Copies of this chain bind each other. A is one copy, B any other.
Amino acid sequence: MNTCETERRFLDYVKKMMNYEEALNLMFWDLRTGAPKNGVEQRSEVISMLSTELFTMSTSAEMKGYIDALEGKELSTKTRKIIEECRKEYDRNKKIPEAEYSAYVKLQAKAESVWETAKEQSDFAMFQPYLEELVAYKKKFISYWGHNTYKYDTLLDMYEPGMTTEILDSVFGQLRDRIVPLVKKIAASDKVLKTEPLQAHFPKEKQRDLSLALLQQLNYNFDAGRLDETVHPFAITLNPGDVRITTKYDESDFRTAVFGTIHECGHAVYEQNISSELVGTPLCDGTSMGIHESQSLFFENFIGRNKQFWYKNYSLLKSYSSGQFDDMSIDEFYDAINESKPSLIRIEADELTYALHIMVRYEIEKGLFDGDLEVKDLPRVWNEKMEEYLGIRPENDAQGVLQDVHWAGGDFGYFPSYALGYMYAAQFRHKMIQDLPHFDELLANGDIKPIREWLTNHIHQYGKLKKPLDILHDVTGEGLNATYLADYLEEKYTAIYQLV
């Protein structure tokens, strides 16, 4: 077979895998948005069968044959990148002995269910042996996969290709040095924010209509998506012409739905605008967890928590609400939705303190894989770090080291992506404002299109054609730099809390 013919067959093969994935994603979406409960057991069988099929294809002799035959050949950038992705997945899956991997999958499932109980009972000791085993497995896997100076880098690379401990140490250090003093100043400030109206009753149907109106304004394309309700909000891509988002309505706090929807909108707008040339390939996806999060956070914070955005939309919000904002000025409202105070739970943290939560986790993960930190010491170390970074200390492990599911699922190296998302977003924003100096004015006019187009041109369209740090460099001319996020937060919170 000549190279052309092999390439054609390889691309067909990959396309078939992507088609299976679309079918799988529809089933996931369906399960989380209203599939009747009696059908779930059988549905799980279908999902498991198709997933196995997909896994088998990604590690088959046929796949290996294509990769071996095409690697190093003169091919389009696109095909080369596809081969790179396939090689990465092939190696990742093939290098682990099958029996070990299957034991690990079982452990994962067991660990997640033990973690659930352990969290309920705030009993770390119950979860400890499972976590120890998970860490041991991951260390073994790293030895199969290979690593450079830091073992942890191999894990980071799975979620954020190219990211290293060295870079993170540097940017997290800079960021902490700027955020911690800010948090302390806010704690010492005597500015009182009026937040009660935010928790007034807001009927679900009205929240839904408001969400739809905001999505429209935010350039979410309803010809290529839909909004549904769910317990844990998410965005999911069937294909770039069908990127769905879900949200959750809390009638005693409209922020859950509104900011949740805007957040997922950022994820979805990313995938709606990936170049159609990448459809049917593994490149038709966000390039990394961190860049994905940069898009959702850009929308949620830089647009959705911007004062000008609410100058445009406050009357819209009022028109859907039941009068609770009648005695609240726009400025009071803006301050209230940007309230910042140290809290114990990551997913409830505000824009300012969020990154500190991530740093606690990052330090621990680093210590586990490249330091001498032992699992049994996690609760103590967690609490010490929380006190050091946020000035508060969990009273129990449920509110501390047991709060997140990630480690129970074996996901080490994932947490940094969240904080990276903040930094990427701020760095993009800095550059965007140079290109679109009327950024605030655009928000005040509800004219999001130029902003969305800037993001599409610089980021969205490429999918996985470019690695995260390449995108960052191409857009901003430099590597990861924490200064932009720190500057932004300093400016914003100094104004809100009238700090000096």
Contacts and interface: CB of A to CB of B under 8 A. Distances in A.
A34 interface: yes
Interface stretch (A210-218, A221-229, A402-410): A221-229
A236 to B, nearest CB: 12
B226 A38 contact: no
A39 interface: yes
Given A27-B23, A34-B226, A223-B36, A241 B41 contact: yes
A45 interface: yes
A43 interface: yes
Interface in A1-46: 16, 19, 22-23, 26-27, 30, 34-43, 45-46
A226 B30 CA distance: 12
A279 interface: yes
A274 to B, nearest CB: 12
A242 interface: yes
Nearest to A30: B26
A39 B224 contact: yes
A279 B45 CA distance: 12
Given A19-B49, A26-B27, A49-B19, A42 B226 contact: no
Nearest to A276: B42
Contacts of A344: none
Contacts of A221: 38
A291 interface: no
Interface in A233-263: 238-242, 244
A219 to B, nearest CB: 14
B38 A224 contact: yes
Interface in A428-451: none
Nearest to A228: B34
Interface in A83-103: none
Which among A38, A223, A226 has the greatest number of chain B C-beta atoms within 10 A? A38
Contacts of A241: 36-42
B279 A36 contact: no
Contacts of A34: 226
A242 B19 contact: no
A198 interface: no
B23 A242 contact: no
Contacts of A38: 221, 223-224, 240-242
A222 to B, nearest CB: 7
Contact of A239 (B42, B225, B244): B42
A50 interface: yes
A108 to B, nearest CB: 23
Contact of A223 (B19, B37, B224): B37
23 contacts: A16-B49, A19-B45, A19-B46, A22-B43, A22-B46, A23-B26, A23-B27, A26-B26, A26-B30, A30-B30, A35-B242, A36-B222, A36-B244, A37-B223, A38-B223, A38-B224, A38-B242, A39-B239, A42-B238, A42-B239, A42-B280, A43-B238, A43-B242
- 9 A-B pairs with least C-beta separation: A39-B242, A38-B241, A39-B241, A38-B224, A42-B239, A19-B46, A23-B23, A19-B49, A38-B223
